[in-house]
């Protein structure tokens, strides 16, 4: 096997198959349109992505949301304009909605926004505070099978000048939409970022991107790692226990994170997408110049990889399935 598929274990070969491919789907050199989210809807074959920060001549910062229609060749990228301030991570929320993380602005709250996938893309702010203390810059989100919403909240917005002074630590939260209950479930992070569950939901993986701060400074002595927790119940309520270092990224930081249905862990890193076994062994890397912030699984072993100015399609073995959608 050769670049861009770098094997570190025979197990990686069973994931990528005998003829994996990496193909460029779209490119936009005007601005980094392909940065975060990556929310795929199989029924329509559409993909929703968020851009990196765009700063205009007046110093105003904005994030663009793009709907990618994958039914045509070349794909059609259409910018949509729902009122989601500085959108970032996202996830499927029912059949026809995306649950977006909004990092917020100086005047608009950070929080969780539900957006319809049909024009005019109606949007509703669902949650913006922890017991009346406003979130910092909600970054990434995952939904448990019980309906609870788990999300990370680092201070990047303050560091990048579009959010006020934080009033909460860098933490991870669990919110129950049906009851309104919200809890802080994990702390001790420098910059909590990506989050996902194992396929059986017995473990949760959270990336810490403290190596890179929002002002652009890089400190190699800070962590760029993935932490794993066991999900258990105490007195009938979920807790995260047995915190452990799962893996450290060799290049850059581990940002977005997903599992396949076999429990292997994928993360967007400074050299592309790294893949680890459930036991934390690096199986291989999908090398993409410039690195990957986030990505998502599509159908039949495909991955859509967000590479700032470029959107890539990775084809693994057709029987590889992402744990979120199971397709």
**Do 247 and 282 contact (CB within 8 A), yes or no?**
yes
Structure-block tokens of residue 78 = 């259409």
β-strand partners of 237: 234
Dump pLDDT digits (tens) for 36-79: 999 999 999 999 999 999 998 888 999 999 999 999 999 999 99
Taking 60 as the threshold, does the pLDDT of residue 2 lie above it? Answer: no
CB atoms within 10 A of CB 128: 17
pLDDT at 3: 80
Residue-averaged pLDDT of the chain? 97
CA-CA distance, 295 to 21, in Å (whole number)? Answer: 16
CB atoms within 10 A of CB 95: 8
Q: pLDDT category, 86, cuts 50, 70, 90? A: very high
Dump pLDDT digits (tens) for 8-23: 999 999 999 999 999 9
Q: What CA–CA distances, in Å, run from 198 to 10, 70, 243? A: 22, 28, 15
pLDDT at 198: 98
Mean pLDDT of 94-114: 97
Taking 60 as the threshold, does the pLDDT of residue 106 lie above it? Answer: yes
CA-CA distance, 42 to 84, in Å (whole number)? Answer: 23
Domains of the chain in sequence order:
28-258 (2.120.10.30)
**Do 61 and 55 contact (CB within 8 A), yes or no?**
yes
Dump pLDDT digits (tens) for 260-312: 999 999 999 999 999 999 999 999 999 999 999 999 999 999 999 999 999 99
- Quick one: DSSP state of residue 321? -
CA-CA distance, 45 to 55, in Å (whole number)? Answer: 31
The contacts of residue 205 (CB under 8 Å, 6+ apart) are: 194, 195, 196, 197, 198, 226, 227, 228, 246, 257, 259, 265
Mean pLDDT of 18-34: 97
pLDDT at 107: 96
Structure-block tokens of residue 238 = 């979920």
β-strand partners of 138: none
pLDDT at 46: 98
């Amino acid at each position: 096997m050769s670049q861009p598929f770098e094997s570190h274990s025979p197990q990686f070969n069973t994931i990528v198959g005998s003829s994996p491919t990496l193909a460029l789907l779209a490119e936009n050199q005007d601005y980094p349109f392909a940065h975060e989210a990556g929310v795929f809807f199989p029924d329509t074959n559409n993909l929703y992505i968020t851009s990196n920060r765009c700063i205009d001549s007046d110093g105003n910062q904005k994030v663009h949301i793009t709907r990618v229609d994958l039914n045509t060749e070349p794909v059609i990228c259409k910018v949509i304009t729902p009122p989601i301030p500085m959108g970032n991570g996202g996830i499927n929320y029912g059949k026809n909605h995306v649950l977006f993380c909004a990092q917020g602005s100086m005047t608009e709250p950070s929080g969780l926004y539900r957006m319809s996938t049909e024009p005019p893309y109606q949007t509703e702010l669902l949650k913006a505070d922890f017991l009346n203390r406003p979130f910092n810059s909600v970054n990434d989100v995952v939904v448990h099978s019980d309906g609870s919403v788990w999300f990370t909240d680092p201070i990047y917005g303050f560091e990048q000048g579009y959010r006020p002074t934080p009033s909460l630590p860098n933490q991870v939260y669990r919110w129950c939409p049906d009851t309104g209950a919200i809890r802080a479930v994990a702390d001790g992070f420098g910059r909590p970022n990506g989050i996902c569950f194992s396929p059986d939901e017995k473990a949760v993986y959270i990336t810490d991107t403290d190596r890179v701060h929002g002002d652009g400074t890089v400190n190699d002595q800070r962590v760029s790692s993935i932490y794993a927790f066991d999900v258990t119940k105490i007195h009938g309520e979920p807790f995260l226990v047995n915190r452990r270092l799962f893996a450290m990224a060799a290049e850059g930081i581990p940002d977005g994170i997903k599992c396949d249905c076999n429990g292997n862990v994928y993360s967007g890193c400074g050299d592309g997408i790294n893949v680890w076994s459930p036991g934390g062994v690096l199986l291989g890397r999908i090398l993409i110049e410039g690195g990957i912030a986030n990505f998502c699984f599509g159908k039949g072993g495909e991955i859509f990889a967000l590479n700032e100015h470029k959107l890539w399609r990775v084809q693994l073995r057709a029987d590889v399935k992402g744990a979120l959608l199971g397709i």
